[in-house]
Chains A and B, each alone.
Chain A
Amino acid sequence: MTDEEIKVFIEGALHYFERVTGSAAAVDAPYLKGDESVALEYTGVIGISGRHRGAVYFTSASEPLVGLLQSFGETDHGTPNQADLVGEIANTIAGNARKFFGSEFLISVPIVLRGQLDEITLPRHMKTVVIPIQWRSWRCYLLVSLHKNPGLLDEVLHRRRG
């Protein structure tokens, strides 16, 4: 991923928190994920296909999700709503990125995973960028694994030449 592409997701995450809660979040310097686990209690996963392939993950502990639900005016802070929200956050940040990547940046519906995740949920053959997000006293993470889809690019170039 390029710096410009990483910036798209940083801005997407900051925009989300600012818009929904009215209070700004901050991000620490993004880094390439190593062997350590960064998965927290709830993880929303969006699959990416089209001109790019990969995934966008938003992972959070319960407390910030309760805080966000309160910002939505939601009084039911139970597990189903926390799971629903973590998927919606991943979906919104990934969807907003189409402003930069274009309509061939295809996003899946969210999949929500609970609990500390095994590394099997991250694509091993792709580099994953971790974006730490600080909101109030809590830390969440946005993880992005993104590669250009060479198969589709070749097809597009072939069509243009043809």
Chain B
Amino acid sequence: MNDVATEALPLKLLIVDDSSVVRRSIERQLKMPKISTILQAANGREAIEMFLEHRPDFVTMDITMPEMDGLTCVSKIMAIQPETRIMVISALGDAETAIEAVERGANEYVFKPFSESELNQALRNLIEAPQ
């Protein structure tokens, strides 16, 4: 009999958003048995500290945050571990910001407010896309 828990790869996800309601909402909506560990950070500075300590494989990243914004944080993570896959989840609705996020190293961009299916599709793209 298949056991999802034992088959799950030890993938780690870091959720970065200054809203704790949004962070928990993302965590609840994720339907990814491959992810074994979910970490949370409330701003870019905290995210870098957690990143260095836990080295997550995937990151969801808000942009407008206190202390360090998400775009700066994407650049810093890429400098530390370029193979990290990052999905920006932001309310910023202009194309220029989405392009800048991708230029800095983000792989996916999801606009807030997002639906559960959008979130999971983007995360599937993030996890299943070839390196």
Contacts and interface: CB of A to CB of B under 8 A. Distances in A.
A87 B94 contact: no
Interface in A108-144: 108-109
Given A73-B28, A85-B19, A107-B64, A94 B91 contact: yes
Query: In the complex, which range does the number of interface residues on chain B fall in?
Result: 20 to 34
B21 A69 contact: yes
Interface residues of A, number: 30
B130 interface: no
- Secondary structure dominating the interface of A: helix
Interface of B: 18-22, 24-25, 28-29, 64-66, 90-94, 96-97, 111-115
Contacts of B28: 73
B21 A88 contact: yes
Contacts of B112: 92, 95-96
A34 interface: no
Contacts of B91: 91-96
B92 to A, nearest CB: 5
Nearest to B25: A72
Most buried by A among B25, B65, B94: B94
B90 A95 contact: yes
A95 B93 contact: yes
Interface stretch (A12-20, A24-32, A145-153): A12-20
